[in-house]
Every structure is written in structure tokens, then in C-alpha cells.
Structure 1
């Protein structure tokens, strides 16, 4: 009889999607997987998962998140306690894999003597950099100085600029307090606490009583960072990703259709229209611009970006999410307003007519994997959220990094300084990013043939399917569980 594992995901799409893929991989290693999920998220579970005989869902009764996080937490806590108090099977799960953003639930699992495994949906680099910066305390760096982080690669040394940009990070959600889960965000572990480098990573306390860590990454991308974390926490750390849809690994050299596994999204354009537009563009000529669903530049920076897209000659696809456009930091609020209602967010009105067929502006959801897998796409201006970063790397697309907050800074540094498949959009992200910087960055990125070759070589590691190192890590995890609970 197969052993049972429970999985408790966080709410945001950037957490749910990797979690669903983890369920797939664990069932393939003959674990019986029970997904514990809020009843409000039941419709988001892929139908393919429901069809697997070793997978099942247990819904935690809950209402849509109310204004009071305390109330929602209490609701979920009571729901979990009721589930395990009346568990329908003779034995309880051998462990629970818990998203680090849901660590408030550890007390419930402890009450029912179910060991927990911490699950990071972001990469290992961001967690390792936070940990190393806390150890090194490089808070007094001056202009031109760097701080090497013992145990990490030299090319990840912190600079004065690294510290400065974190000082102007948009404020994160409040750190988790006892009884209060953080609000849903697509973010990495650093969003669980203050954004400034040098403080103890909040996740470090959260994983103290866990038996292992799982991270959405692989050895080919982040081997030194996985090892660094494992050496510090003194428990198994498994790189089990990238946790991308199965179609991603089966479609090397061909277009991926997002609609096959990411449906019911609102957009002003169909996949067929996107393909038709891309088919008319030269190979590797299109710049894809997207900041994901959770973060965005300021209103002023959006205007600079629109002017840059108009003035450069590059074909582009720009995804504009409804309601996006952060308020400017205090130092910019004296500048003239843009006349855009805050509730509506930013949209580059009139840009489509001025650029004609050179640009394609998508409002709402975009088929990102389709765009990144099309041969006409040659670059990606991105916030460097972890999912977007690994999707681009796996398809050999260089990045123009424009991180906004949290782990995105570390992901961008990984891309630019270590993997060398991208450039930063600006040398000083603590200041407003200007049109000329964006234009220069686009020209540099799209014209760098050596970088394109480097990106192609790196993506070749993904062409054989799901990474062998991650399959080995899943097998090692299975052996670890069997030995522990034999």
C-alpha cells in the first residue's frame, strides 16, 4: 500500500501551479497524494489531476478571504483540525508538504503528529542570498565596494547598488503573525518579512521543526545555492523543479498552447491571433514585455516604457494587466499627473495606432508559454518572478531584468551575474527607470548574439525533459520518507 502525503498550497497562482505539478510528480513516484485546499479554490485544480488514481482532494470549507485575515485563518485552522480529527482512513499521512507561506498551519500538523516538509515555490538563489546576507551583514557598503558572501559563488557578491535598491522596495505584505496568514501574493520567501538585506530571513524560523525542504528548482540552475541552504539547515533539501506543466517538457522545439492547461483567462486576444502575429515576424526579433499578475512599475515608469516602445524599432508584445501601475514613491509625487484613474490602472492609449503592426498590446491574460516558445521571440523584459524566469530560461530567451520587489532582485542577479543570460534594465533601480535606459537595454539585449548562444546552451539542459537531478531528488525524498516511517 502506498504511503500518503498531504500537500497544503498557498493561494496565489504562482504558488498553486507549481503545487499542482508537484502533486503529479509525487503520484508518479507511487505516493498517495491528498491536496488540502480551500473550497474557494476547488475549480482551479486541473482535471488531469482528478483523473489520477493516487490523487484526491480534501476541501477545507471556507468563504472568500474576508477583510479580516484573523477570521480567515481561524476558519482554515478549524477546517484542518476537523479534517484530521475525523480522518477517513485508518492511518494519517506520513508527512505534509506545506508552502512556506502557510507555515501558520504547522501547529495543526504538530498537534496530530504529522511531520512537515517546507515547500518553496521560488528558487534556491533568493533564499540562499537572504541567508548569506544575514550572516555577512553587509549593511555599510559604500559606492564601488562589494561584499563576497562566504559559501556562495563570487559572481553573486553584493554591491552597493544591491543594497540601495532594496531600500526602495515596495512594502511587502505584513509579516505573518501568530494566527494571521499573509495575503495572497505571487512571491518568494523574502516577502514574509522586511525587504532590506541583512535581517534574519523570516523563513528560517518557520522551517525549524520541518523534516526537509523542497524547492522549485534543479541542480542545473542552482546547485551551489541548494547546497548552501542544506549545509546551513542540516536537513535534506530537494530541488524538485522547475515545476512546469508536463506539456512544457514534451514540446521542445514546438509551440506550447497555454489553453491546454491554463484556461478560463480573460484577454482581449486569442491564441490564434497571437500566433498569426508572431508568424509574420523575423526569427528572434520580438521583445516580449510582461510583469506578471502581481507587480508592476510606477505610473511614471509605465509612461517611460511606452515612450521607449514607441521610439525603438523592435517588434514587441506588451502585456498590460488591468489595474496595474504602482503609486510613485514620495520623491516622485510632485511630478505632473498622468490623468489616469487609479482604479483603472495604466494603459498605453493610442500606442497601438502609433506603432501599427510592429506592436501587439494584450490587455489581461497572455499565453506566455506560447509566446516564449515561438521562434520569433528573441527577448523578454520581465520582473523576474521565478516562474517567468525559468519559463524563459528553458526556452533559451534572454531577459532584460526589471525586478520590482523581494526575490525578484535575487532572481535578476542570478540571470545577469551568474547565468549570464540577461541584462539589468537600469544600474540604479532605486531611481525612476527612464526611457533612454529602457531603449538602451532593449538594443543591447536584442543585439547580443553571444548572449543568445549562451541562452541556447543553457536551455539545452531542458530539452531532454524534466531534469534528471530533480527526478533523482524525488527518488531520494521517497527513500528518505520510507526509511523514516518504515
Structure 2
């Protein structure tokens, strides 16, 4: 009898992509997978996904945000999911699934799966370090850390001790940034109630980056935990020339001010390791004032750069910046071919918000960071990069204040001139030259064994 696994994705592209890759991994292991997606993301599924054997998708109603119980749209989404499961349970051609792997962002779906006796595995689309640090900050009540004080975390190395700067955050963030501000006494990580009742945890990471933190989370929560990533699209495991062809064939065509070919031609004209890539993803960004500070720093810095300006942020930056920096800067509006840029030999640094997908991509391509986290797990992703694997610098130690032009310019200069850091990034990159990490293959094997025993 065919084995099936449900995978339920959260509400943003950064959650969908890892879930798609996870489904592909299960398909290659002869599992049938049903990807449950909010209707708002249907157009974001690449056509190639439907070509994988043993994969299908099921839609549920979309909400504009993760689902509070009072949201009418979430109530409708719950009804959609329950109706789907009910119809399947009545059909002998659809045996009960082995489990549902649920993105923590949509943990509300657990109760519906439990109605049909389907066990739930919780999926973190970010890394285990961020989860471990958030858990430790809560359990150690780190909100009272004073300036200059550190608080060691039992079971984790000294360089990951909690500090005052780990807890200080801006009290508000720009409109794309969502909830922000420092944690309050007693605040638990928002994902804690979303994973309660799960039989195991999965993290979009691997032992080479996060092995210590995966073990920490398994020990703390008391259930198995696996790193099953890096759940990156296939093009991130290819050479530059293959990347160009792959993007031409399979990449969704998105609105952009530059084509892939134009970006590659510009990069080809720059010296090896000289280009700073500046991008903050699609969901968060600096404040209006910080955009201007960043523009000033890029203008004053002597080296070449690519700056991806998010939709809606154009008004924040000087309108004549393109002319002032001339061919030294390539300013891309809207979408940019990030895999191509990070993998190019001319790219030598990445000023990043340290969203987990961007963090993984830069590590795989051997590019060191100037870390500018803005919300959520990004703060501790930055700590992993800077303190633990040591392939990055912080843009400033105090992110509770506006980031200034001088800090940005100094950070760029330090990053682009630090040959030791570039060497460490290149050494780490070698671990991923053979493709999907061996430790994650082993983790998926361990999951298969676990779930087979659990349901028999």
C-alpha cells in the first residue's frame, strides 16, 4: 500500500519554497506527498513541481496573516482542510497518511489532523540555532540582562551566551516588518504553542551548520529532532553557467528592472571578490531614515555594489543615486536573481537581513556577511553567522537605534577587506560542493524509520 505524507506550508514565499523542496525529497523516497497551500500562494508554485511523481497539491482559503482563531478566513481554511480530510477518510483509495508535517506558522492545523488520528511533525523553516536561542532566552528570562552582562546557556558554547544586544530591538519596525520590539518578561517564543503535541521536529538546516543546536532542541523539547535541509532550490547546487540556463528554463518570470543576462554582464566586468551585494528579501526592510543612511554609505564606499530595492521603498532613496554612482553600482528594483549573484566570482560580500533562506544561500556560495537583522529569527541567524561559524560581521552592536551611515560604511570596508573571513567562508562552502548534505540524507532516513515504527 502506498505511503503518504502531508506537508502544510505557511503563508509566505520563504515558507513555501522549503516545503516544496521537502516534498521533492519525499517523492524521491517513494512517498506520496500532498502539499497543502493557501490559495494566495498557488501562482508561486513552479510548474516543475507538478512534474515530480507522487506529488499533488490541495488548496485552503488564504488569510493575509498567520491565523488567529477569530479570523473568519482562518475559520474557512480550517473548514476546507477538515472537509478534505473527511472526504479522503471515506474513500478506500486514500489510506490514512503516515503523518502531517506542519510549518509552525500554521500550527492551528494540528487539531484538525488529530481529529483524523494523523500524527503531526512540526517543521521549522528556519534554523535550529535561532529556535535554540529563543527557547533559551525564554527559559533563562534573559529580558533583565544588563549592558556588558552575558548569560551562559547550559549545553551551548560560550560564544553563544546571551548578551544585552541580543535582547535589545527596535520598538517598532517598518510596515513590511511585522511584529517587532524587545521581548517582555515571561514572553515565550511565538512558535512554542504551535509545536505542542508534535511527535517530532524538523529543521530546515543541517549538522554542518546547526548540529549542536538540533541536539539542544531535541534534549529541551524531549522529542526527536532532525536537520533535513538545506531545503534550497536545485539551482543553488549548480555551477554559474548551469545557474544561468536553469533560471532561463525554470525560474518564474518576475518583474525586475534588470534581466539575468544584464546582471551577469555587469558582474563579469568587476574584479574577483570586489562586489558587495545588498538585499533584504521581500518581507522586511530598513526604516525610511535607514534607507537614506544606506544610500549615503553605498555612495561614499569606493567599491562596486548591487543593491536590490524592494517594491514600495523607491521613495526612500535619493532619486539620482543611479547617476551619482554610475557603473560602480547596479541598482535593481523589485526581484533579483540572487542565486546567480551570490554564486558569481565577483561577489565578495552580502549585506543581508539574515533571513534564513538568504543565509543558507550565501553560505552555500561561500559569501561572507554584513549582518543587519530586522525581526524574529534574523537576530539569532546573525549570531550564528557572526559568533559561531564566524563568516560575518554585525552592521552595529545596537540595533535598537537607527543604523547610521558611518556604521554601514565602516562595516562594508571591514567586510570587503577581511581576507581571513573570506577564507573561512570558502572553507565552509566546500562542505556543500557535493550538493544536498549527507547529514540531512541520514536525517531523512532516520525520520523514515521513526515514522514507520510510529504508525505500525
TM-score in terms of structure 2 length: 0.93
Q: d(CA) in 2 for partners of 1:197 and 1:29? A: 45
Q: Give the deviation of 1:39 after TM superposition.
A: 3.4
Matched, 1:231 2:235: no
Instruction: Give the 3 Å change call, closer, same or farther, for CA 281–302 of structure 1 in structure 2.
Output: same
Task: Indicate the SS of the match to 1:278.
Answer: helix
Q: d(CA) in 1 for partners of 2:409 and 2:177? A: 28
Q: Give the deviation of 1:186 after TM superposition.
A: 9.2
- The residue number in structure 2 matching 1:452 is 422
> Does the aligned pair in 1 maintain the 2:105–2:194 contact within 8 Å?
no
Q: d(CA) in 2 for partners of 1:477 and 1:213? A: 10
Q: d(CA) in 2 for partners of 1:149 and 1:372? A: 34
- The residue number in structure 1 matching 2:41 is 41
> Does the aligned pair in 2 maintain the 1:33–1:54 contact within 8 Å?
yes
- The residue number in structure 1 matching 2:433 is 463
Instruction: Give the 3 Å change call, closer, same or farther, for CA 299–186 of structure 1 in structure 2.
Output: closer
Matched, 1:126 2:125: no
- The residue number in structure 2 matching 1:304 is 293
Matched, 1:384 2:354: yes
Instruction: Give the 3 Å change call, closer, same or farther, for CA 368–348 of structure 1 in structure 2.
Output: farther
Q: d(CA) in 2 for partners of 1:86 and 1:389? A: 41
Q: Give the deviation of 1:275 after TM superposition.
A: 0.5
- Which residues of structure 2 form unaligned runs of 5+? none
Q: Give the deviation of 1:243 after TM superposition.
A: 0.3
Matched, 1:281 2:265: no
Q: How many residues align?
A: 450
- The residue number in structure 2 matching 1:265 is 254
> Does the aligned pair in 2 maintain the 1:98–1:117 contact within 8 Å?
yes
- After superposition, the CA RMSD in angstroms is 2.3
- Which residues of structure 1 form unaligned runs of 5+? 173-184, 325-343
- The residue number in structure 1 matching 2:74 is 73
- The residue number in structure 1 matching 2:319 is 349
- The residue number in structure 1 matching 2:29 is 29
Equivalent residues in 2 for 1:5-154 (5 A)? Answer: 5-60=5-60, 62=61, 65=64, 70-87=71-88, 88=91, 89-154=93-158
Task: Indicate the SS of the match to 2:430.
Answer: helix
CA deviation vs aligned residue, 1:400-455 (integer Å, no higher than 9, x gap)? 00111111110011101111101001121111111111111000000000100000
Match of 2:160 among 145, 156, 162: 156
Q: d(CA) in 1 for partners of 2:84 and 2:166? A: 45
Task: Indicate the SS of the match to 1:288.
Answer: strand
Q: d(CA) in 2 for partners of 1:198 and 1:259? A: 50
Instruction: Give the 3 Å change call, closer, same or farther, for CA 199–59 of structure 1 in structure 2.
Output: closer
> Does the aligned pair in 1 maintain the 2:62–2:74 contact within 8 Å?
no
Match of 1:216 among 204, 223, 228: 204
CA deviation vs aligned residue, 1:10-35 (integer Å, no higher than 9, x gap)? 12000001110000011111111011
Q: Give the deviation of 1:162 after TM superposition.
A: 1.8
Q: Give the deviation of 1:264 after TM superposition.
A: 2.5
Q: Give the deviation of 1:232 after TM superposition.
A: 1.1
Task: Indicate the SS of the match to 1:397.
Answer: coil
Q: Give the deviation of 1:169 after TM superposition.
A: 5.4
CA deviation vs aligned residue, 1:327-371 (integer Å, no higher than 9, x gap)? xxxxxxxxxxxxxxxxx6423310110111000000000001110
Q: d(CA) in 2 for partners of 1:356 and 1:476? A: 54
Match of 1:247 among 227, 235, 241: 235
**Deviating more after overlay: 313-322 vs 128-137:** 128-137
- The residue number in structure 2 matching 1:367 is 337
Task: Indicate the SS of the match to 1:462.
Answer: coil
Task: Indicate the SS of the match to 2:340.
Answer: helix
CA deviation vs aligned residue, 1:35-87 (integer Å, no higher than 9, x gap)? 12233432322222211221112233x36759997121011111111101111
Task: Indicate the SS of the match to 1:282.
Answer: coil
Q: d(CA) in 2 for partners of 1:407 and 1:211? A: 23
Instruction: Give the 3 Å change call, closer, same or farther, for CA 307–250 of structure 1 in structure 2.
Output: closer
Task: Indicate the SS of the match to 2:155.
Answer: coil
TM-score in terms of structure 1 length: 0.88
> Does the aligned pair in 2 maintain the 1:134–1:201 contact within 8 Å?
yes
Q: d(CA) in 1 for partners of 2:263 and 2:291? A: 23
- The residue number in structure 2 matching 1:412 is 382
